[in-house]
């Protein structure tokens, strides 16, 4: 009798083990790839001349989303991506604090609360192995990883392993690295070392041969293409002469390709060059040569990143994991404009005091370990074709980003374009839905902050799936926007002036994909409706609803006053009303 009981128990255990293994085999691996400061039109599947054959292949197997919106700057977007909440709700409305004020529980605290589980925490609790490789930038700067000073480090936010960098950027040849809960000492690196290749090596190692009992979640956050723009010379040289035509011609060429491939409606209008950005024809011959080389370096940086993604995909295919791996690839905001009209040459975030002639004499140093450079701002204007402005701004040039979803086992109409409105808050709910789980309402007896996003998984198989939400609000550094249906309203704020004096612009995105025509004067009732909705949404998701940008950003951000004046004039609102 006891033998039969043992045999029965053994059979049951085996059956349960096989059932668990079967369920694990059914659940997909999940890889969330986040590029940094890559504009809407900077990838091949979105109309770029930059060679991205491996990302192109993901798009052919999967779907491109042409209405994916971010929070216009890295940390708020990443907070939304990983938690499914609006960044204001999780007190990360802007970049992390140096050291949070214990009394500050507002949207600008700069530290994620403990009752906002990340997607990594949810997936780990449901049986996933969880890995993070690359950029973090979701914790206060004072935290050093030691016990009591690591609450915002990745291992305390759901990751089994993390290898990458903690702050907002790093040198691609000499990165400041962390692993687990410790900072790694600086050490000599191989002559051909590059951070992008390093983190993909770690990803491949973590994924293994596909024979693990648990599926894997990987958050792969490249430093590319955030400055410093650095890439091997061979990749840079692929673009010799490509950008001699300049940024104005590049915008027109990308627009035409985007229309031809269906990323843009045929009636999309290219807005005029941004105020303050120089016409290419106004540059001197020396400036043209130097500035073209900046863009060659940027393009090489992206192509090199694509090659690393190609190595990862090749590994998935070789180990039989590709078909049941959900890959979501996106950028965290629009192309970056921080370097102004002349770019950064020697070091980031420092005034470029070199003359064009001096830069030309050192032009071969661009992209190497000798410089930490960033391209001039008008290249960012080209990067976000067909939109206005760039990273940090509330227009779609700052907010709209490319997104690709690949999951061969689930997606049957690969190569197509989806037009649903998707926000960064929708990504984490989609990932946990694909894994067959959900965000908890409570953890350890404490209520969780409600998730704002919704899963877009239905759109993977239904081209005409409805939008998951009728409205999405936006706020960053006092600037505001809201989309309700196909209408979008935008307000630029002049620091130090009353918020009720901000002038709003109104766009009908169904007829004007690029926000080229301000309809505020023609539809004042609709504008009033959207403004009221903004306050309602902000009141729900942010405390306070609006505030002046913190001083540390006010010192370095310069939103052109001419834009606010133009908004007032074109809206018929009059300045100061």
List 137, 226, 304, 315, catalytic entry: 137
Catalytic site residue 137? yes
Q: Which residues pair with 198 in a beta bridge?
A: none
List, for residues 500-515, the tens digit of each pLDDT value.
999 999 999 999 999 9
Catalytic site residue 568? no
Listed in sequence order, the DSSP H helices in 146-265 are 195-207, 233-237, 247-261
Residues 6 or more apart in contact with residue 20 via CB below 8 angstroms: 213
List 74, 194, 202, 226, catalytic entry: 74
List, for residues 499-556, the tens digit of each pLDDT value.
999 999 999 999 999 999 999 999 999 999 999 999 999 999 999 999 999 877 776 6
Asked whether the beta carbons of 478 and 547 are under 8 A apart, the reply is yes
Give the pTM: 0.94
Residues 6 or more apart in contact with residue 294 via CB below 8 angstroms: 229, 343, 366, 373, 374, 375, 376, 379
Query: CB 158: neighbour CB atoms within 10 A?
Result: 22
How far apart (Å, rounded) are the C-alpha atoms in residues 229 and 370? Answer: 12
- Mean pLDDT of the region 361-381: 98
Token reading at 179: 């692993």
Asked whether the beta carbons of 205 and 161 are under 8 A apart, the reply is no
Label residue 110 left, alpha or beta by phi (over 0 means left) and psi (-120 to 50 means alpha): left
List, for residues 471-496, the tens digit of each pLDDT value.
999 999 999 999 999 999 999 999 99
List, for residues 316-363, the tens digit of each pLDDT value.
999 999 999 999 999 999 999 999 999 999 999 888 999 999 999 999
Residues 6 or more apart in contact with residue 333 via CB below 8 angstroms: 37, 70, 71, 72, 73, 74, 77, 391, 392, 398, 399, 401
How far apart (Å, rounded) are the C-alpha atoms in residues 195 and 571? Answer: 47
Instruction: Please give the full DSSP string across 238-262, using - where no structure is assigned.
Output: TTTTTTTT-HHHHHHHHHHHHHHHT
Query: CB 526: neighbour CB atoms within 10 A?
Result: 16
Label residue 246 left, alpha or beta by phi (over 0 means left) and psi (-120 to 50 means alpha): left
């Amino acid at each position: 009798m006891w033998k039969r009981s043992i045999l029965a128990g053994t059979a049951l255990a085996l059956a349960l083990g096989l059932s668990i293994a079967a369920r694990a085999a059914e659940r997909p691996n999940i890889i969330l790839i986040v590029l940094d400061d890559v504009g809407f039109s900077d990838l091949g599947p979105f109309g770029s001349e930059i060679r991205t054959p491996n990302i192109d292949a993901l798009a052919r197997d999967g779907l491109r989303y042409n209405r994916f919106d971010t929070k216009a700057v890295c940390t708020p977007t990443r907070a939304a991506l990983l938690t499914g909440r609006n960044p204001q709700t999780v007190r990360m409305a802007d970049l992390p604090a140096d050291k949070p004020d214990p009394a500050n529980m507002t949207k600008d605290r700069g530290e994620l609360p403990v009752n906002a589980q990340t997607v990594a925490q949810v997936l780990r609790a449901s049986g996933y192995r969880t890995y993070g490789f690359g950029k973090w930038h979701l914790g206060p700067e004072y935290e050093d990883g030691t016990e009591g000073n690591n609450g915002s480090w990745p291992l305390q936010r759901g990751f089994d392993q993390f290898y990458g960098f903690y702050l907002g950027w790093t040198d691609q040849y000499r990165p400041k690295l962390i692993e687990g809960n410790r900072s790694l000492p600086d050490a000599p690196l191989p002559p051909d070392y590059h951070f992008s290749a390093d983190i993909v090596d770690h990803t491949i190692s973590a994924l293994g041969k596909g024979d693990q009992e648990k599926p894997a979640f990987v958050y792969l956050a490249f430093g590319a293409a955030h400055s410093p723009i650095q890439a091997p010379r061979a990749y840079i040289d692929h673009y010799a002469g490509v950008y001699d035509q300049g940024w104005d011609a590049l915008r027109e060429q990308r627009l035409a390709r985007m229309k031809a491939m269906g990323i843009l409606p045929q009636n999309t209008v290219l807005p005029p060059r941004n105020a303050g950005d120089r016409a290419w024809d106004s540059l001197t011959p020396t400036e043209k040569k130097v500035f073209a080389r900046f863009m060659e370096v940027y393009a090489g940086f992206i192509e090199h990143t694509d090659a690393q993604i190609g190595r990862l995909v090749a590994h998935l295919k070789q180990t039989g994991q590709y078909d049941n791996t959900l890959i979501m690839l996106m950028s965290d905001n629009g192309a970056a404009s921080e370097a102004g009209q002349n770019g950064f040459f020697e070091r980031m975030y420092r005034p470029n005091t070199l003359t064009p002639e001096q830069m030309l004499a050192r032009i071969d140093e661009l992209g190497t370990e000798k410089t930490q450079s960033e391209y001039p701002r008008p290249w960012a204007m080209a990067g976000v074709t067909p939109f206005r402005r760039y990273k940090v701004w509330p227009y779609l040039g700052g907010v709209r980003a490319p997104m690709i979803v690949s999951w061969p086992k689930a997606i049957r109409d690969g190569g197509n374009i989806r037009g649903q409105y998707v926000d960064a808050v929708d990504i984490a709910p989609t990932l946990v839905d694909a894994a067959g789980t959900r965000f908890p309402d409570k953890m350890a007896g404490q209520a969780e902050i409600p998730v704002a996003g919704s899963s877009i998984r239905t759109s993977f198989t239904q081209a005409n799936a409805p939008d998951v939400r009728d409205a999405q609000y936006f706020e960053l550094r006092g600037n505001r926007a809201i989309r309700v249906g196909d209408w979008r309203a935008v307000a630029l704020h002049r620091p130090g002036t009353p918020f009720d004096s901000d002038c709003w612009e109104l766009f009908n995105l169904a007829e004007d994909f690029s926000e080229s025509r301000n309809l505020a004067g023609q539809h004042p009732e609709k504008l009033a409706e959207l403004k009221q909705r903004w306050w309602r949404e902000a009141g729900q998701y942010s405390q306070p609803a609006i505030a002046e940008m913190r001083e540390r950003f006010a010192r370095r951000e310069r939103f052109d006053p001419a834009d606010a004046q133009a908004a007032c004039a074109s809206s018929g609102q009059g300045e100061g009303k």
